[in-house]
Amino acid sequence: MKKFTRRRWNHSSWQHKFGWVNLKKIFTALLSLGLVFSMNVTVMADTIQELEQQKQQIIQQQNEAKAQRDAFLSSYNSMKETVEDIEIELQMMDSKIETLINQINANEKDLEATNQEIEKTQKEITEREEDIKEKQEVLDQRMTALYKSGTNGYISIILKSEGLGDFISRIEAVNKIADYDKKIINEMNEQKKELEEQKATLDLQKIKIEKLRAENIAKKAELDKSKSEQQAILAENQAKMKEFDEKVNYYYDLISRLEAQKQEKDRQITILRNRAQSSSSTSRGTTSANYSSDALVQYALSFRGVPYKWGGTTPSGFDCSGFVQYVYAHFGIHLSRTTYTQIKEGVAVSRNNLQPGDLVFFGYGSPHHVGIYIGDNAYVHAPQTGDVVKISPLTRKDYMGARRVR
């Protein structure tokens, strides 16, 4: 039987077999690998630190932009209140002017009617004067004839009388005719007097109407002047408000772009940290929901300046519901066509819990407008005919609610 004996480790033989050269190479390789790994970690750490610094710089820029935006937004809201007050005042002026125009038209009608009455009364006065003149002439002729005939006139009456009774009757008849003529003339004079008094009253009425008409015309002229002045002030304030609105939108846009940059830095930092921890975690990155929300907002903002078009559903022109439908469709999310049905989709979100990408609705009773919330109390939307897709502050009084569709 073969005997096995324990073999002693021979250090010198190991050295001889591998040699110092090979040993040095192995240690050098191990040392180099350790240095490389250490250097990679250091470089990665420095890169993360640089990204964090860049992120902080972006946040600082965001804060500065928000301060500028808030300042301009405050000026915009103040100017908006002034504009609304002027518009209300102009509406009241228009109402007063309309009332004065109606009063002036009524004055014109009253003057026309009064002038017609004056003409009619004057015509009647002239007719009475002619009647009186004619009757007076007849009476004068009769009395002149009797006067000229003198005694012969009465003798003729006596001679033609068939008796004393007939004579008395004839005398009484002559007197009655004379009295009747005088009565007629007196009545005509009374009528003429009444007509003259009536005309005098109408003349006074005409003077009053003309005075009232002149006062109304003067009031209207004064209101027209005030209205023109207010319209000039309104135009000036609207121009300032538009300037503030453009600046507010500029800073909303800047804040949104900075937010996108900040999220990109976060994404890069997350990737680097995951790589440093484990290669298996690199696929996780950032959550798709956050990234998708930001991407959706950025995509929506890319359509700023597209004109509003009623019934529009393409970048050649959008209405409000067509705009949000088009944006969501780009990310594979199908929305219905109108605000009346879109408000029923997704889940309800309170105003305090709004997130970028949420749909915001406006209206009283039923929705008539919709937009996409972009953060910082602002939303992007296709407003109305004559306007374009733009960013607006979420300050409307007819805000109804929000829906989150994912």
Question: Catalytic residues, which ones?
Answer: 320, 369, 381
Residue 328's contacts (CB-CB under 8 Å, 6 or more residues apart) are 296, 334, 335, 405
Query: Do β-strands 347-349 and 399-404 pair in parallel, antiparallel, or remain unpaired?
Result: antiparallel
Give the pair of three-digit tokens for residue 82.
Answer: 């002034």
Q: How far apart are CA 101 and CA 88, in angstroms?
A: 20
Q: How far apart are CA 335 and CA 341, in angstroms?
A: 9
Buried b (16+ CB within 10 A) or exposed e, 367-380: bebbbbbbbbebbb
Residue 160's contacts (CB-CB under 8 Å, 6 or more residues apart) are 170
Query: Which residue type occupies 65?
Result: A
Phi, psi of 359 (to 5 degrees): -85, 135
Q: What is the DSSP code string of 64-98? A: HHHHHHHHHHHHHHHHHHHHHHHHHHHHHHHHHHH
Helix or strand run (H / E) with residue 349: strand 347-349
Q: Are 200 and 114 in contact (CB under 8 A)?
A: no
Half-sphere exposure of 93 (CA within 13 A, CB side): 19
Q: How far apart are CA 18 and CA 100, in angstroms?
A: 118
